[in-house]
Amino acid sequence: MSARENIAKNLIEQLTNMTDPAPGLVSRKYFDVTKLAITQFPAILLITANETREDISTDLREGNIQYQLRCYLRGTELDTLRNEIIERIEETVETDRSRNIDYNINNIHNVTTRVASIELIQRELPLAEVVVNLDVVYRYKKGNV
């Protein structure tokens, strides 16, 4: 399994286990937010985005993968709901910045995760959307990703 896939699966697992607020839906498959049941909010869509790679040495490379967490919220106190989901995601990501990757399989090491930016998307009430952009930097031996 690729490093990108390992990291994405780990993020899904960590986000699924969040509490207060606990997401009703965490997925990598696109969904129509307007058709979600009230019990499925907050909902999080994880999208693997761009990746850059560069040589560190003759046999070592560094990759920087960007992930988008599209968070959909529903309610009356949308500003509070946005702040709560952002804080919970930051805490979840900070709990295990190394993404708990099995290093032996892919020769991956020095994995770090950080919240790069946060975007607020305007939606028709009672919905709100927040995009939390993550950067995951990792190093690997050439030919093993």
pLDDT digits (tens, 9 = 90+) for 74-105: 999 999 999 999 999 999 888 765 555 554 55
**Which residue is listed with tokens 């490093």?**
3
State the Cα–Cα distance between residues 82 and 128, nearest whole angstrom: 8
State the Cα–Cα distance between residues 5 and 2, nearest whole angstrom: 5
Q: Closest Cα partner for 137 from 92, 104, 96, 99?
A: 99
pLDDT digits (tens, 9 = 90+) for 15-63: 999 988 899 999 999 999 999 999 999 999 999 999 999 998 888 889 9
